[in-house]
Amino acid sequence: QKEVEQDPGPLSVPEGAIVSLNCTYSNSAFQYFMWYRQYSRKGPELLMYTYSSGNKEDGRFTAQVDKSSKYISLFIRDSQPSDSATYLCAMSAAGSARQLTFGSGTQLTVLP
């Protein structure tokens, strides 16, 4: 079983919808949580970065971390066709180990 599980989708929503993307993880050492957006044939782009549990909002994006359930979410409000991409969750442990462990990504399409 992978350390980070993410539903691959594909997920298709109409423009303006609220999108919910989720990941679960098994390693309780993870303390830093990130969401990346990756367009086709491009590198991952950092969207959100949170430390430990709680919520963080940035424009139309909200990231939530529930460490007790080992569950993280990304919400996208008022989704736009330009949000169509693959969304990757990523996380890392505290201490000297800095590498990110990624989910497999959820492919999102926002239909105009």
Partner 1 sequence: GAGVSQSPRYKVAKRGQDVALRCDPISGHVSLFWYQQALGQGPEFLTYFQNEAQLDKSGLPSDRFFAERPEGSVSTLKIQRTQQEDSAVYLCASSFTGREQYFGPGTRLTVT
Q: Is 53 in the site for partner 1 (CB under 8 A)?
A: no
Q: Which is nearer to partner 1, 65 or 105 (CB)?
A: 105
CA 85 to chain centre: 12
Distance CA 69, CA 34 (A): 17
- Residues between 15 and 34 with contacts to partner 1, criterion CB under 8 A: 32, 34
Distance CA 61, CA 47 (A): 8
- Residues between 82 and 101 with contacts to partner 1, criterion CB under 8 A: 88, 90, 92, 96-101
Q: Is 58 in the site for partner 1 (CB under 8 A)?
A: no
Residues 6+ apart with CB under 8 A from 97: none
CB of 4 to partner 1, least distance (A): 8
CB-count burial class (<10 Å; 0-12, 13-18, 19+) for 93? middle
Q: Is 61 in the site for partner 1 (CB under 8 A)?
A: no
**Footprint of partner 1 on this chain (CB under 8 A)?**
4, 6, 8, 32, 34, 36, 41-46, 49, 88, 90, 92, 96-105
